[in-house]
């Protein structure tokens, strides 16, 4: 299955939550686009300026847990520090003795309700229907955000 790599993500049909499908030429790119989609669930992505840069390192036992932990880390940044991000660079996902480690940078700014209109609040990331599909030239990740 080959996807148009210009398309970063789309929202799938789901009755009560946000069901997201994100794409990339690599696992790193797909994880970055999954993060973009998460921001787009909360507010208008194009209104979030890339003013400040943050670095992230996330570890988990397997790739689905890594995707969960990565998105949860970004959600916590919003909930605890009021940070929104509009640009992501996942520079590496490596296997470790305990599972996997992700290294990433994100650019964004502090949440401003005047500038960043609320769409819906994300309660949590879920494992329900989470998938990581690897093809020779593309990776697709699917996940549900509880809203």
pLDDT by 10s per residue, the chain, length 147: 444 556 788 777 656 688 999 999 999 999 999 999 999 999 999 999 999 999 999 999 999 999 999 999 999 999 999 999 999 999 999 999 999 999 999 999 999 999 999 998 899 999 988 999 999 999 999 999 998
pLDDT at 78: 97
pTM value is 0.90
Q: How many CA atoms lie within 13 A of 58 on its CB side?
A: 26
And the tokens for 80? 């605890």
User: Exposed, middle or buried, 72 (CB in 10 Å: 0-12/13-18/19+)?
Assistant: middle
pLDDT at 7: 75
């Amino acid at each position: 299955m080959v996807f148009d790599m210009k398309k970063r993500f789309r929202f799938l049909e789901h009755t009560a939550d946000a069901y997201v499908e994100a794409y990339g030429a690599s696992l790193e790119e797909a994880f970055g686009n999954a993060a973009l989609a998460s921001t787009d669930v909360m507010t208008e992505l194009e209104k979030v300026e890339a003013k400040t840069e943050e670095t992230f390192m996330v570890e988990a036992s397997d790739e689905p847990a890594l995707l969960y932990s990565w998105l949860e880390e970004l959600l916590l940044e919003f909930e605890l520090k009021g940070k929104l991000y509009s640009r992501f660079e996942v520079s590496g996902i490596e296997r470790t003795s305990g599972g996997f480690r992700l290294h990433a940078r994100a650019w964004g700014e502090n949440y401003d309700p005047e500038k960043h209109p609320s769409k819906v609040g994300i309660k949590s990331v879920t494992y329900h229907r989470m998938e990581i599909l690897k093809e020779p030239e593309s990776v697709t990740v699917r996940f549900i955000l509880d809203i």
